[in-house]
Amino acid sequence: MSFDSRALLPIALLACLLAWAVASDVRSRRIPNQLVVLGLLAGLALQSTVTPGAGLFSEPFGALGLLKAAAGMVLGLVLLLPMYALGAMGAGDVKLMAMLGTFLGPLDILGAGLASVLAGGMLALLVALCQGSLRKVSGNVKEMVLGSVLRGMTGGSARIDAPVAATGQLPYAVAIASGTVCYLLLTRYFGWSLL
């Protein structure tokens, strides 16, 4: 696959935004709204001003258009909203995924979202292993799943309750950034297809 030099601007912009989000989330467990707004505006501007094509990170290079960028934004928001509602992540993480949707569009945000959730799971296991809390995490998962199954079997709501014993917070921007970068590299440069 040949590389289109016009893709350098979106790549550089997205890399800077993701690096800023990761640094902020690791340092303060917050993703600034100004980062999200700046990223939303940049993604929408690129998707509406660049020559039409298959996507900012696709071959042939080009914009998806304002409508698909907005659809990617909404889908990115909706993807992580359930995890936010369960208290598993902060609002900044959800807004960051929505921002990514403007750059990636509706199809690629699904793949990047899946890769981010997988990266988040691996990161959570790694952090639990390093902190020596893997047993606590597995106990929490067991309680949550068993509680949900038992409630469902008795005719109740099969909801999953938050764990009683918290095991710490995870800077989820790290998972979102690494999942997105892995998704783009695997699909664009190594020919994989996640969807």
State pLDDT tens for residues 43-88.
999 999 999 999 999 888 999 999 999 999 999 999 999 988 877 8
Question: Residue 110 in contact with residue 71, Cβ under 8 Å?
Answer: no
On whether residue 96 sits in a domain, the answer given is yes
On whether residue 23 sits in a domain, the answer given is yes
Q: How many domains does the chain have?
A: 1
On whether residue 161 sits in a domain, the answer given is no
Name 62's bridge partners.
55
User: Which pair of tokens denotes residue 44?
Assistant: 């929408």
On whether residue 151 sits in a domain, the answer given is no
User: Which pair of tokens denotes residue 27?
Assistant: 């340092």
So what's the pLDDT on residue 116? 97
Give me the domain span that covers residue 177.
5-133+168-188
Name the 3-class secondary structure at 99: helix
On whether residue 162 sits in a domain, the answer given is no
For 148-169, the pLDDT digits (tens) are 677 777 777 766 565 555 545 7
The helices-and-strands tally (H runs, E runs) of the chain is 6, 0
Name 55's bridge partners.
62
User: Which pair of tokens denotes residue 193?
Assistant: 């297809």
On whether residue 154 sits in a domain, the answer given is no
On whether residue 139 sits in a domain, the answer given is no
Residue type, 152: G
On whether residue 157 sits in a domain, the answer given is no
Question: Residue 102 in contact with residue 40, Cβ under 8 Å?
Answer: yes
